[in-house]
Structure formats: structure tokens, C-alpha cells
Amino acid sequence: MRDSFLDPPKRKQNRLRGYDYGRPGYYFITICANQRAEFFWDMVAENLAVKLGSCVGRDDLGAPYANLSHYGHIVEKYIVSIPTAYDGVFVDKYVIMPNHVHLIIRVNRSEDGAPRSSRPTRLIPRIIAAMKRFSNQEAGFNMWQTSYHDHIIRSEADYRRIWEYIDTNPSKWREDCYYEDGVKQVAKKDEKTNVMRILEQKNIPYTPHAYDGAAGLDGVSVARQLGQDPESVFKTLVARGASGGLYVFDIPVEDSLDLKKAAKAVGEKSVAMLPQRELLPLTGYVHGGCSPVGMKKQYPTVFHETAEIIDTILVSAGKIGFQVELEPAALIDLVGGITADLTV
């Protein structure tokens, strides 16, 4: 076990050897999202949450929560169900952060001294495994890292310190070790994404660009960071047609998609933007890191007509913090795309 509960969890972290995780006591649990992806907050409202210091999660005092994403609400559903599913087990405190959750789990014993759940030595691991499994099933994909970090709370002072840490976690998100770790993961300029590998496999020349994904997920912010003309930086949008088919539309980051024009371009009666909660399961990409290249399935793709008159085009490299710059014709040809007037 590491000395500090602030240390980021490591995949190889095992439970304390020989410890009975069903004995009465308090357990501080941290579970991270798969690849530290920020699944659990509505990122549009994230800055507001941090500014106001909102608590994302409830506790025994009835503290409010705010700005959870669709996946965040799924996670909360299974956290609050723990006391119902396991007799003698309580969640004293929890918080759902953008890419991880913290819980204080309290285990009580029955009057005869026996744990109120079977196989006591595996009680906490079984609780966490079940929460992961059911939340993944409802989300439709694997949201979690393989392992998790636990800290056995052994004193009242330790309990109070952890309680306060959880309580203030949202307001200190920018200072959080998990936030910093996530930023470091997307700030490696020499890292290659799957999009880059595809371009190299196809012998398509490109220039990689790295930016600070924490400074803002909107495309205009990305263009500003990279010192690029927003007319050359395209955002990738996914929509569903009236027929049920999915379509990809790439337009300049400063522009808005005209749904009527988009529908006409793909021969649909109408199209509607794909709900954000469906983006990852259907494309393999998260909001802010969606690319027309390398989706789980190659959907019909349309670029705004200005792609034909710019020298180079920048699109997401498939991960927040990375863009690729290449010739528009090469990109359009790679994805079998067409061009049309798509913007308002």
C-alpha cells in the first residue's frame, strides 16, 4: 500500500495481502476511468462546477450534486445502490469526478459477529467488481480501469482528512493529481495516436500538433492554441438520419452545422445530432477527441465545401490534446468522403 491516498492508483496495485476485507471498518476507495478519459462530467458545464465548487455526489448531510454526464449518472446509480445490495455495508461519502470516483465504504458486522455478506475476505473487491460490471453493462462499454486503489482508514483523524478531501475535490479539480495525470497523458508531443498510425500505414504525409486539452475542448480554443486559422481547423460531428443511419460531418470549428443542408447532402429526410452518450460506443471516440479517421466503422462522411479551397486541414487525431494537419484531398479520399455546403 502507498503511504498517501493522494497517489494515483496503479494497475498493479493489489489488495493488502492477507487482510480481511469483510471486517468492520472504513475503506477509502478510488476507481479511475478507462485511460483516465473524462466520462463522468458534462464537460460543457465543467468550468462552472469548478468555479462554484459544486459537490458532484451526495453524502449523509445531503450535499447537492451537479453537472454529471449520462455516464456519471449511471455510476451514481450503482454507488447509491451499494447499501441496498449488501446488508451491513454503507457509503458514507462519495464524489464523482470527471475521470475517477472516490468512496468511503463502511462495513458493519451483525450481532453474532459474523459479516452480513458471504465470503468476507472478498467483500470489498466483490462490491467494486459488481459496481463496475453493472455500470459497464448499462453504459455499453468498459468505462473502468482494471484495478482500483484502496486505503484502510485506521483512525478518526484519517477519516476526517479523507472526508474533507472528498468534499473539496470538485472545487480543486485543477489541482488534482488525476487531473494533472490526464493532462500529462495528452501532452506528450511524441505520442502517436491510432489516427497517426493509420495515416502512416497509408503513406499519407501529415504534421502532428499537440495542445493543452485542459484549456478548453472547443475547436476555436484549439485553433487559438495552435496559432492556426479557424477556417482550416475542422470539427467532426456525428448525426443520425431519419432512416437510422449514421453520418459524419466535418465543418470549420467556428461554424454551425445546418441540419437541413446536412440531410440533403446524405439523401435523408432529416438528421439529428447523435447524443453525446452514444458517441464513444459507436465511434470509439470521446467528445473533444472525435476524428473522421479510424472510427469503429467507416460512416458516410461529408466535409464542408471550403475544404476544397484550403491548403491544409486540421482534424482531431482521435485523442484530446492532438490534431493532425494534412492535405484536404488526401483526407477526403482516405475516408471516402464528399464535399457539400453544410454550414448555417
Query: What are the extents of the domains in the chain?
Result: 25-185, 188-340
Distance CA 173, CA 128 (A): 24
Block residue for cell numbers 458534462: 42
Tell me the CA distances in angstroms from 66 to 50, 58, 95, 221, one per residue in order: 11, 10, 11, 25
Distances (CA, A) of 64 to 115, 167, 170, 274: 32, 11, 12, 29
Q: Which residue has the cell 473522421?
A: 292
Rounded Cα distance between 10 and 244, Å, is 41
Question: Which pTM was predicted?
Answer: 0.60
For the record, the C-alpha cell of 59 comes out as 453524502
What span, in angstroms and rounded, lies between the C-alpha atoms of 227 and 251?
Answer: 18
- The tens place of each residue's pLDDT in the chain, 344 residues long, gives 333 333 333 444 444 554 555 577 899 999 988 877 778 876 544 443 333 333 344 444 333 344 778 888 899 999 999 999 998 899 999 988 888 899 999 998 543 344 444 444 578 888 999 999 999 898 888 889 888 888 888 888 888 888 888 888 776 665 555 544 444 444 455 578 999 999 999 999 999 998 876 555 578 888 888 888 999 999 999 999 999 999 999 999 999 999 999 999 999 999 999 988 888 889 999 888 899 999 999 999 999 999 999 999 999 999 888 999 999 999 999 999 999 999 99
How would DSSP label each residue in 241-257? Answer: ETTS-EEEEEEETTS-B
- Check whether domain 25-185 has CATH 3.30.365.10, yes or no: no
The half-sphere exposure of 254 on its side-chain side, counting CA atoms within 13 A, is: 9
Residues 124, 181, 283, 97: what is their CA dihedral angle, to the nearest 10 degrees? 50
CB 39 within 8 A of CB 99: yes
Distances (CA, A) of 26 to 66, 88, 122: 26, 12, 15
- 283 vs 294: CA distance, rounded Å: 8
Tell me the CATH architecture of domain 188-340: Alpha-Beta Complex (3.90)
For residues 232 and 310, give the distance between their C-alpha atoms in angstroms, rounded to a whole number. 7
